[in-house]
């Protein structure tokens, strides 16, 4: 059985990095969000698209290729990270991938704390899978600024090719867009060639209008991705927040020509939810964003449910979760 409906073997496409632009306060302050309309639109999304059989299997394989496989626990060990990296190399059981014609499928990245970067880089050597490090005082972002910048440099030096930074929420809540812009520019500069994902912690920004404005400011300052959450807030990725951030990305691309990536993170654990997010991206941004260089899921448990669904697609039976261990 070949899931040719949506191949994950994608041709290499080189996108110019978002160079950013000077802070445009008129554009930022002009960004609005009609909360009731956004929530109505978001409520319709789960029922708007339905993919079945081979098409669903292909979309789920695409979702796997866009996962940042993540462990961000206080009890992380190098052994745990190495097991996670082995799962990143072989995210779905070999017999399932062979039956689907999807041999060679891997995840988008492995995301860890700074102390685990070296172990992850070593475990992923030769795979082409990048290591992403959370940084800048994750998750609160309240450590001294010079230490946050230094942390980025340490992670890049250790081999991280992607850096997930957290913004200072107080800049957004106080409407100090210049301070947020300057902070983000400094973080981007510290990353060097490593791509930077700006975590907005949307559950702590108060309003969807704040989410829209913070998204624009971070992109103007050179963010390669904007990301919803740390996964540690009370509210993480939601469809209304995603709609606001995706439309900010679309507006930014229309005005500048730069494509910025999107990463929903936290609370996405079911295969059916992954399908909703993929369909939202396709509807709002188009097929180009359905690639791991422009779209990622920040997830730790999503992969297990996708693997169960793929086995069900092949056998008609749901297997126990322990047959699809995370690492």
Which one from 227, 273, 293, 305 is the annotated catalytic residue? 227
Q: Is 197 a catalytic residue?
A: no
φ, ψ for residue 134, nearest 5 deg: -75, 145
Which residue of the set 68, 87, 164, 305 is catalytic?
164
Q: Is 263 designated active site?
A: yes
DSSP assignment of 109-158: EEEE-GGGHHHHHHHTTTT-PPEEEE-SSTTTT-S-HHHHHHHHHHHHHT
Catalytic, 26? Answer no
Q: Which residue's structure tokens are 């047959």? A: 323
CA 301 to chain centre: 14
State both tokens at 195: 């791509």
φ, ψ for residue 298, nearest 5 deg = -90, 105
Q: How would DSSP label each residue in 148-197?
A: HHHHHHHHHHTT-SEEEEE--HHHHHTT-HHHHHHHHHHHHHHHTTSEEE
- Which residue is catalytic, options 68, 197, 224, 263? 263
With tokens 């010079």, the residue in question is 146
Q: Which positions are catalytic?
A: 164, 227, 263
């Amino acid at each position: 059985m070949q899931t040719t409906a949506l191949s994950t073997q994608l041709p290499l496409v080189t996108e110019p990095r978002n160079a950013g632009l000077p802070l445009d306060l008129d554009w930022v302050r002009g960004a609005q969000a009609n909360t009731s309309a956004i929530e109505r639109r978001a409520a319709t999304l789960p029922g708007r698209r339905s993919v079945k059989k081979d098409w669903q299997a292909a979309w789920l394989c695409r979702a796997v290729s866009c996962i940042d496989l993540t462990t961000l626990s206080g009890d992380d060990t190098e052994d745990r990270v190495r097991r996670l990296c082995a799962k990143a190399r072989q995210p779905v059981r070999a017999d399932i991938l062979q039956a689907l014609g999807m041999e060679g499928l891997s995840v988008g990245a492995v995301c860890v704390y700074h102390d685990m970067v070296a172990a992850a880089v070593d475990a992923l050597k030769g795979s082409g899978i990048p290591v992403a490090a959370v940084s800048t005082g994750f998750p609160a972002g309240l450590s001294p600024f010079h230490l946050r910048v230094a942390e980025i440099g340490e992670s890049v030096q250790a081999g991280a090719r992607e850096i997930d930074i957290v913004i200072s929420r107080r800049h957004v809540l106080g409407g100090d867009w210049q301070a947020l812009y300057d902070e983000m520019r400094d973080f981007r500069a510290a990353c060097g060639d490593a791509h930077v994902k700006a975590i907005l912690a949307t559950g702590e920004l108060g309003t969807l209008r704040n989410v829209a404005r913070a998204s624009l400011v971070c992109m103007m300052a050179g963010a390669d991705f904007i990301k919803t959450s740390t996964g540690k807030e009370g509210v993480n990725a939601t469809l209304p927040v995603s709609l606001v951030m995706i439309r900010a990305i679309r507006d930014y691309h229309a005005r500048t020509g730069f494509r910025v990536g999107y990463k929903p993170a936290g609370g996405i654990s079911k295969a059916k939810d992954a399908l909703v997010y993929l369909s939202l991206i396709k509807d709002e941004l188009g097929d180009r964003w359905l690639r791991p260089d422009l779209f990622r899921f920040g997830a730790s448990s999503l992969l297990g449910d996708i693997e169960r669904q793929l086995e069900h697609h092949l056998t008609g039976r749901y297997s126990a979760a322990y047959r699809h261990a995370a690492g």
